[in-house]
């Protein structure tokens, strides 16, 4: 029998403003923002200078719609477990601001528009990569892995790596080793970015029977994995230096920000070993800052003579 807590959190009369806000919430723009941070700098690297401004804007619009579509599908498919977790109880399908049909229609429409948009204003390779990103996130992560294995975020996180390839291909119409390396940087970065968040909300995931690593393994096991992936991320970022002939700005950012990211990871593990309050969100926020600094350096480095 449903309890009061299982009912939508609001039953307000819908207004145009609230409906628009709910559609925006479907897209998870805070997540999309981080994806776009990895797109524009790669376009500068691909151009070895400033690319056409309209191409950048068009690619970012297409990328926003693509990621928004994937996130909307995710909210539709996860609406049952979103009701069970405190951190997701205000999502629009839980509160009743949007119906299931509205969310699904929006997911399909924004995905289709993103593919056509990128095909027309960038190229069809970028559009195809956009489609692949949506399919990876919706099918591989949300439908197949998320509720079945503790490895869910490792392989499901591949979807978040595609903006690097989309940005590069939008400029060049092809792919090369540099975007592949940056793809792998984001791939390796995703677990040590997301696992601290799953530690913070471990009880939420447990209540929804989602087997995140922090739910099925002890804290020290998660801590070791975070360290290993942090080291691997930084090592992969350094490989870009000889491959793409990166200069001083990128080198310093990769070394400095990378060292900070690794230190934060080790400190989290140390707190877990000492049975202290682990404060995993420090690593979560540090990981965001690290990736932002790294990709800002990717975009700045080709513009400077050293």
For residue 9, pLDDT over 80 is answered with: no
Q: Considering 148, 174, 200, which residue would you say is the last residue of a domain?
A: 174
**Residue 76: predicted pLDDT:** 97
Q: What percent of the chain has pLDDT over 90?
A: 87
For residue 125, pLDDT over 70 is answered with: yes
**Residue 12: predicted pLDDT:** 56
Pair (124, 198) in one structural domain: no
- Indicate which CATH number applies to the domain containing 57: 1.10.357.140
For residue 1, pLDDT over 70 is answered with: no
What is the distance between the terminal CA atoms of the chain, rounded to a whole angstrom? 67
CA distance 139 to 144: 6
Q: Assign 102 a pLDDT band (cuts: 50, 70, 90).
A: very high
For residue 157, pLDDT over 80 is answered with: yes
**Residue 137: predicted pLDDT:** 96
Q: Name the burial class of residue 226, with classes exposed (0-12), middle (13-18) and buried (19+) by CB atoms within 10 angstroms of its CB.
A: buried
Mean pLDDT of the chain: 93
Q: What is the mean pLDDT of residues 2-26?
A: 68
Can you spell out the DSSP letters for 32-85? HHHHHHTTHHHHHHHHTSPPPHHHHHHHHHHHHHHHHHHHHHHHHHTHHHHTT-
Pair (29, 49) in one structural domain: yes
* Residue 267 in domain: yes
For residue 50, pLDDT over 60 is answered with: yes
For residue 5, pLDDT over 80 is answered with: no
| Spatial CB neighbours of 221, under 8 Å, sequence gap ≥ 6 | 213
Give the single-character DSSP code of 150. T
**Residue 13: predicted pLDDT:** 64
Pair (29, 62) in one structural domain: yes
Q: Considering 174, 190, 220, which residue would you say is the last residue of a domain?
A: 174
Q: What is the mean pLDDT of residues 234-262?
A: 98
**Residue in the block written with tokens 């994806």:** 35
Pair (157, 298) in one structural domain: no
* Residue 148 in domain: yes
**Residue 218: predicted pLDDT:** 84
- Indicate which CATH number applies to the domain containing 228: 1.20.120
Q: What is the mean pLDDT of residues 89-110?
A: 95
Pair (218, 300) in one structural domain: yes
* Residue 69 in domain: yes
**Residue 175: predicted pLDDT:** 97
Torsion-angle region of residue 8: left (phi > 0), alpha (psi -120 to 50) or beta? Answer: beta
Q: Assign 285 a pLDDT band (cuts: 50, 70, 90).
A: very high
Domain extent at residue 288: 176-306
Pair (248, 160) in one structural domain: no
**Residue 16: predicted pLDDT:** 83
For residue 161, pLDDT over 60 is answered with: yes
Lowest mean pLDDT among 37-51, 53-67, 204-218: 204-218
**Residue 10: predicted pLDDT:** 45
Q: What is the mean pLDDT of residues 142-169?
A: 94
């Amino acid at each position: 029998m449903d309890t009061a807590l299982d009912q939508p959190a609001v039953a307000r009369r819908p207004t145009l403003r609230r409906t628009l806000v709910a559609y925006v919430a479907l897209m998870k723009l805070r997540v999309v923002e981080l994806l776009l941070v990895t797109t524009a700098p790669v376009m500068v690297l691909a151009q070895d200078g400033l690319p056409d401004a309209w191409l950048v804007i068009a690619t970012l619009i297409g990328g926003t719609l693509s990621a928004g579509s994937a996130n909307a599908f995710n909210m539709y498919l996860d609406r049952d477990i979103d009701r069970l977790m405190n951190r997701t109880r205000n999502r629009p399908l839980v509160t009743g601001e949007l119906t299931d049909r509205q969310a699904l229609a929006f997911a399909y429409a924004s995905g289709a528009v993103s593919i056509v948009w990128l095909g027309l204003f960038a190229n069809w390779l970028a559009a195809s990569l956009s489609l692949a990103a949506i399919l990876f996130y919706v099918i591989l992560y949300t439908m197949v892995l998320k509720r079945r294995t503790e490895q869910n975020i490792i392989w499901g996180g591949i979807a978040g790596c595609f903006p690097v390839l989309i940005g590069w291909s939008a400029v060049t119409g092809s792919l090369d080793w540099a975007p592949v390396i940056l793809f792998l940087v984001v791939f390796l970065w995703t677990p040590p970015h997301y696992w601290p968040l799953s530690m913070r909300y471990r009880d939420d995931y447990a209540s929804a029977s989602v087997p995140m690593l922090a739910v099925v393994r002890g804290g020290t096991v998660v801590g070791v994995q975070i360290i290993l992936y942090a080291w691997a991320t930084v090592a992969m970022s350094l490989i870009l230096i000889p491959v793409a002939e990166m200069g001083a700005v990128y080198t310093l950012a990769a070394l400095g920000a990378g060292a900070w990211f690794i230190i934060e990871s080790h400190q989290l593990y140390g707190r877990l070993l000492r049975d202290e309050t682990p404060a995993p969100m420090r690593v979560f926020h540090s990981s965001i800052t690290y990736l932002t600094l790294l990709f800002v350096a990717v975009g700045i480095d080709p513009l400077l003579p050293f």
